Chain A
Amino acid sequence: MHSFGYRANALLTFSLTILALMCAMASLSDNLNSPSPTASVKVLNINRFQKKSTGDDEVGITLDISADLQSLFTWNTKQVFVFLAAEYSTPKNILNQVSLWDGIIPAQDGAKFSIKTKNKYRFIDQGSNLRGRDFNLTLHWHVMPKTGKMFADKLVLPGFRLPEFFPDSDPSSSHQFFVSFQLYPSNPCSSSSPKNQFVLAWFHQNSIAHHSPILELKSKPLFHLLIIANRSY
């Protein structure tokens, strides 16, 4: 009845019960906290637009994120994981969630922040739907407790829109670019120049409308070579 084994067993059981009870109480006490976080996000710039070789659209953006998540912290909080996701729907997908930026806040001191950042994760659509697309930016947070139940919530910031046209990548040039080589007789105005010498003029066209010769020569080209190349990403 009062053997060593019996006493050790009783002690172990009792201490484990108390520990479990304390963990449960710590987790339950999280429910008493009613947080009131605030956040605001601005899109500062659309940096680039690409069509990947798979046909998927990709954009790069610069974000200004400021938030105050201090009220999420309780004594049972180990860390808060916060991330910003672009959320939008397309004809094919009822919901697309693309995480653009995330951060881990280990303590309450760091829970009030304001940063300007480029998207940390690539903003790639499943398909080609990003031109003129309306989207929400949603700030999500996941509260990781020291022990017990995990909490999550979010703040939806609606009313963002990607532009229809991107200055850097007009539809006619985003896939292809043109290089044309033209061969001219060397300096046709001067009779002193040796014959059989030619000048290679090089033209680079981002689109057909903008014809920008490197050399301006006023004679007819002897030879013309146009290269149309796909821009590789």
Chain B
Amino acid sequence: MGFIGDSIGSLKSINVRQALEQAITLGMIVSSALILWKFLMCVTGSESPVVVVLSESMEPAFQRGDILFLRMGEDPIRAGEIVVFNIDRREIPIVHRVIKVHQRNDTSDIDILTKGDNNPTNDRGLYAPGQQWLQRRHIMGRAVGFLPYVGYITIVMTEKPIIKYVLIGALGFLALTSKD
């Protein structure tokens, strides 16, 4: 019978008390992940502290599937920094480098122009129609750390949703059938 037989056997032997225990364990895992995420948001000051690179526009610095750690911070944004920004009415945020900064004298308003290292021109074509500059409110965070390849699994899962369901199913099955 082996592994599969054992699993079916343990599925049969589930009683109410055990099922409740399993549910609580699952809830603990989910909520601790949520706690960790919210904690990171507080520490970094960025609404999404970890992002996965989706495009080739920053190669060779960042490739598809690399993970970036973001921080917001109070310091004003300066040229050269890699920022993640969100354009109004555009769903996916963009990771690009700042090439121009104009900071006002009287107010703290700041005008920012970005460009992808691997792109031939600046990002004005990506901004909203008629938009010349990014302001502070568009910036979600600036990249401070880098981890290669790790995010590739999320790209695979978004492009092939079937893998996502198989993975979730397998994890759920394992969680239900594990004895300890």
Q: Do A and B come together as binding partners?
A: yes
A144 CA / B146 CA spacing, docked (Å): 8
Whether A126 lies near B3 (C-beta < 8 A) is no
Q: Which residues of B contact A93 (CB under 8 A)?
A: 102-105
| Size bracket, chain B contacts | 20 to 34
Whether B144 lies near A149 (C-beta < 8 A) is yes
| Size bracket, chain A contacts | 35 or more
Whether A79 lies near B60 (C-beta < 8 A) is yes
Whether B178 lies near A5 (C-beta < 8 A) is yes
Whether B99 lies near A150 (C-beta < 8 A) is no
Whether A94 lies near B103 (C-beta < 8 A) is yes
Q: Looking at the complex, which one of B6, B105, B117, B178 makes contact with A81 (CB distance below 8 Å)?
A: B117
Whether B3 lies near A92 (C-beta < 8 A) is no
Interface string of A110-152 (1 = CB under 8 A from B): 0000000000010000100000000000001010111111101
**Residue A178 at the chain B interface, CB threshold 8 Å:** no
Give the contact stretch, choosing among B30-38, B45-53, B77-85, B161-169: B77-85
Whether A144 lies near B79 (C-beta < 8 A) is no
Whether A92 lies near B105 (C-beta < 8 A) is yes
Whether B105 lies near A99 (C-beta < 8 A) is no
Interface centre among B80, B122, B143 (most CB of A within 10 A): B80
A93 CA / B3 CA spacing, docked (Å): 70
Whether B102 lies near A96 (C-beta < 8 A) is yes
**Residue A104 at the chain B interface, CB threshold 8 Å:** yes
Q: Looking at the complex, which one of B80, B100, B102, B105 makes contact with A152 (CB distance below 8 Å)?
A: B80
Whether A126 lies near B102 (C-beta < 8 A) is yes
Q: Which residues of B contact A146 (CB under 8 A)?
A: 148
Whether B105 lies near A150 (C-beta < 8 A) is no
Whether B80 lies near A83 (C-beta < 8 A) is yes
Whether B146 lies near A85 (C-beta < 8 A) is no
Whether B143 lies near A94 (C-beta < 8 A) is no
A89 CA / B105 CA spacing, docked (Å): 9
**Residue A214 at the chain B interface, CB threshold 8 Å:** no
Whether B104 lies near A99 (C-beta < 8 A) is no
Whether B78 lies near A97 (C-beta < 8 A) is yes
Given contacts A83-B80, A93-B105, contact A98 B100 (CB under 8 A): yes
Q: Which residue on chain A has the smallest CB distance to residue B148?
A: A147
Q: Which residue on chain B has the smallest CB distance to residue A125?
A: B102
Expressed in whole angstroms, the minimum distance between the Cβ of B59 and any Cβ of chain A is 10
A98 CA / B133 CA spacing, docked (Å): 13
Expressed in whole angstroms, the minimum distance between the Cβ of B101 and any Cβ of chain A is 4
A146 CA / B145 CA spacing, docked (Å): 10
A149 CA / B60 CA spacing, docked (Å): 17
Q: Which residue on chain B has the smallest CB distance to residue A1?
A: B180
Interface centre among B6, B79, B100, B103 (most CB of A within 10 A): B79
Whether A140 lies near B80 (C-beta < 8 A) is yes
A132 CA / B81 CA spacing, docked (Å): 29
Q: Looking at the complex, which one of B61, B97, B104 makes contact with A78 (CB distance below 8 Å)?
A: B61
Q: Which residues of A contact B146 (CB under 8 A)?
A: 144-145, 147-150
Q: Which residue on chain B has the smallest CB distance to residue A121?
A: B99
3 cross-chain pairs, A with B, having the tightest CB-CB distances, nearest first: A97-B79, A99-B99, A97-B101
11 A-B pairs within 8 Å (CB atoms) are namely A4-B3, A5-B178, A6-B180, A23-B147, A92-B104, A96-B101, A97-B101, A98-B100, A121-B99, A121-B100, A152-B81
10 new A-B contacts at CB < 8 Å, known A78-B60, A95-B101: A4-B3, A78-B61, A83-B80, A92-B105, A97-B100, A99-B79, A126-B102, A140-B79, A150-B82, A152-B81
Interface residues of B (CB under 8 A from A): 3, 6, 60-61, 78-82, 97, 99-105, 111, 117, 122, 143-148, 174, 178, 180
Interface residues of A (CB under 8 A from B): 1, 3-6, 23, 27, 78-79, 81, 83, 85, 89, 91-99, 102, 104, 106, 121, 126, 140, 142, 144-150, 152, 154
